[in-house]
Structure 1
Amino acid sequence: MWSFWSLLVVTILFLLKFCAYSFLLLLALAVVYRLWAEPIKGVCKCTTKLYGKVALVTGGNAGIGLETAKNLAKRGAKVVIASRNDMKSQEAVEIIKRASGNDNVEYRQLNLAKQDSIVEFADKFNKDFHRLDILVNNAGVGVVKTANLDNGVDLLMQINYVGPFLLTYLLLEKLAASAPSRIVNVSSNGYIVGFKFKLEDITKCWKTHNFFRYANAKLCEILWTRELAKRLPQGVTVNCLHPGIIMTNIFNHLNLFMKTVIKVLAFLVFKNITEGAQTTIHLCVSPNLEHSSGGYYVDCKKVKCIKIAENDELARQVCERTLELLKLPTK
């Protein structure tokens, strides 16, 4: 007969082996997914210079936004980063200046969760700057508490979609006056999970299912991009993109265990920050895209979306509904 201690040792060894094999299986599945979902890490090869241009990057104090801001500054642009963390943003300005050798970089406070903040930011920007050549709607959040705002919109939907929508609307005259100019919306292939999206989901307050909330917001961003392309004045283009699966501060709200798992997987099989910023930069500077608008890009190449994201009627309805929520003219 086996003693208690012998059984305990055998059980522990079995569990350790099981955990090891499970980890290897998960790693293998992650690699397979990486090869299927993102087989190529696109790189922006454009050498375009941006002297005399003004670029605005929301969420430009960290992650993809910071990398994008550094690249645009290196090309000679006047770069404005907009975010809500004063200390972190001031530090980011110094990082961008050192990395680019361009001192024409500044920070302006913007909180996309608050409509008053967006209106105030846009008003000051329009008064202080004579032009806006590139608007990068990069700021976003992956997980945030469920909360309905005064306009009836869930907080996550507000930050990821409705806020950037309003900001862009308020800066359109400046973009038009600076034509040719570009709007770049950072979305995510997570939008695919929103394949059952309905118009009323814009104001739905989810009690759970954070990823569905995120997916719906990113789907709305793609639909809005598609519709906005039809409404923009001549010389202004808009495109959106999936940057890749990257470990950025968008995952900060996850618990420590989940963040650790994602960090390990991101390090092993997914993109780093520099790689993740390439498609954003490509949409900002590629001369081949001067007249291209309304597209969805992955690894610096235009790709097709799933059916719901290419539904022109739904795109029109989403845009009209958002204008109504913001009490803006619908025509």
Structure 2
Amino acid sequence: MLLDWLYLFNLRVRPSMAGTRAAEVGSYLMDPNRQLSQLPLLNTVMKLPCASLLQLFGPVLVDSFRVAGVSLSFPSSIRYASLTTMAPVFLKRAKQTGPPREAATYKLSAQLTQIFPPRPAFTEKDIPFQKGKVYLITGGTSGIGLELAKILYARGAAVYITGRTEEKAKKAVEDIQKTVPEREGRIDYILLNLDDLSTIKASVEAFKEKESKLDVLWNNAGIAQPPAGSLTKQGFELQLATNCLGPFLLTHMMLPLLEAAVEENGPAFAGTVRVVWLSSQVAELSSPPEGIVMTELSNAPQDNVRNYLNSKVGCWFLSAEFARRYGDERRIVSVAMNPGNANTNLLKDARWTKIFTYPLQHSPKLAALTELYAGLSSDVNLDNNGCYVMPWGRIHTTVAPHLLNAMRLKEIGGTGRAKAFYEFCEDKTKDYY
């Protein structure tokens, strides 16, 4: 396992240090007794013997390296830039292969391109001036949300960020104003504690005192792997409450303002009023066949990683259900996304996870571009309402079949698990409107 991470560290952070020759790498990976469960990165993708995996997609991988211009003799290293070029090529080539190779290569490549995304094709330069638009970003005092707020403020929008404390929220607002001086945009904050359902109504009322509409709500705030057994004041598992129940309640209490924006924008700008939900790649890679085990919601396992996984699958389910319920009738777009692996304080309570994932982490600014794409790109619209966005702004077209099935209603052959989760959230938040 350590050797695997040293390889990743060399490729990602210290390219000049990676001196392993192709033959050495090949003999290491082709050991038929070495399972992918021993490789931290690939264990999340597919549990097959390494030799079998390489036999399945070897020709495609070789072609991908050639097309990307990466030397197969590894004279020094595989540069990270080459990997980001290779991943989408690998995905394209995988589509051209026939069975039985296709399923394995396609699954792997669809995940690799999220770990090593290509350069962003949609940036702040691609959005027009945003004067008159009103945006709300939860958790915008740091990390990805802060970077997104800077972009939107610089383009002239009225931007609201949320913070748990007034001191932290004020400091973030001041930092944004200093970073982007003399702009026509407005930046302000709302105090919000998503882990305390009893306080969310007051936060919504505070926002309504300042604005009469809301064009895009980014449910960006989240928590990962807090101390084991962490519960909210209402007795819910902390990650489920912060990542799902709180955003669910906030979003539904903001519905009148979202509808007001739809009315103001008119048919010419249909699909521009949106709710963005922050999911994660782990939702696709590690979730059980049914997506979420419903009994774990009321009886949370003593496994914070599992609870985090449930909350991220839950965000995806809420996005899909919100799109189904409010898309056609109210013309509101709902989109879930994997923002990308960003170096933020999300894993502040999971030190070792943060250390070992560091080689795969990117700037929060790049992840903010994923959120920008989900919220403002015309690629996302009412026709593909409920879609899923990948780093750094691409629509995911190869979603894991078990999740697609979970998001389908029973009446059309699915399991209806997303609907069941939505109804669970309805029940747990009904007393706080």
TM-score above 0.5 = yes
Q: Which residue of 2 aligns with 1:198?
A: 293
Distance in 1, matches of 2:417 and 2:370, equals 26
The alpha-carbon distance between structure 1 residues 236 and 328, as it changes in their structure 2 partners (threshold 3 A), is farther
Q: Which residue of 1 aligns with 2:401?
A: 307
SS in 2 for 1:277: helix
Residue from 286, 293, 307 that aligns with 2:385: 293
Map 1:9-28 onto structure 2 (within 5 A): 24-25=6-7, 27=9
Map 1:53-92 onto structure 2 (within 5 A): 53-92=133-172
The alpha-carbon distance between structure 1 residues 301 and 259, as it changes in their structure 2 partners (threshold 3 A), is closer
Q: Which has the higher contact order (CA 8 A, sep 6+)?
A: 1
The percent of aligned pairs where both chains have the same amino acid is 26
Q: How far apart are residue 152 of structure 1 and its match?
A: 4.8
Residue from 281, 303, 321 that aligns with 1:227: 321
In structure 2, runs of 5+ residues without a counterpart are 14-40, 43-82, 88-111, 263-271, 409-415
Distance in 1, matches of 2:293 and 2:4, equals 38
Distance in 1, matches of 2:136 and 2:402, equals 30
The alpha-carbon distance between structure 1 residues 22 and 80, as it changes in their structure 2 partners (threshold 3 A), is closer
Instruction: Encode CA deviations 1:217-260: one digit per residue, 9 max, x unaligned.
Output: 000110110111011143311101101111211011123x5544
The alpha-carbon distance between structure 1 residues 306 and 288, as it changes in their structure 2 partners (threshold 3 A), is closer
SS in 2 for 1:116: helix
Q: How far apart are residue 95 of structure 1 and its match?
A: 1.8
- Given that 1:69 and 1:79 are in contact with CA atoms closer than 8 Å, whether structure 2 keeps it comes out as yes
Q: Which residue of 2 aligns with 1:47?
A: 127
Distance in 2, matches of 1:29 and 1:205, equals 38
Instruction: Encode CA deviations 1:188-231: one digit per residue, 9 max, x unaligned.
Output: 11113222521222223222x22111111000110110111011
The alpha-carbon distance between structure 1 residues 153 and 258, as it changes in their structure 2 partners (threshold 3 A), is closer
- Given that 2:144 and 2:344 are in contact with CA atoms closer than 8 Å, whether structure 1 keeps it comes out as yes
Distance in 1, matches of 2:167 and 2:151, equals 22
TM-score of the pair, normalised by structure 2: 0.65
The alpha-carbon distance between structure 1 residues 181 and 293, as it changes in their structure 2 partners (threshold 3 A), is same
- Given that 1:227 and 1:316 are in contact with CA atoms closer than 8 Å, whether structure 2 keeps it comes out as yes
TM-score of the pair, normalised by structure 1: 0.84
Q: Which residue of 1 aligns with 2:345?
A: 249
Segment drifting more, 292-301 vs 131-140: 292-301
Distance in 2, matches of 1:22 and 1:168, equals 42
Instruction: Report the RMSD for the aligned CA atoms in angstroms.
Output: 2.5
Distance in 1, matches of 2:200 and 2:220, equals 15
Q: Which residue of 2 aligns with 1:239?
A: 335
Instruction: Encode CA deviations 1:275-331: one digit per residue, 9 max, x unaligned.
Output: 1111100112113324242011102111132233222211111111110111269xx
Q: Which residue of 1 aligns with 2:180?
A: 100
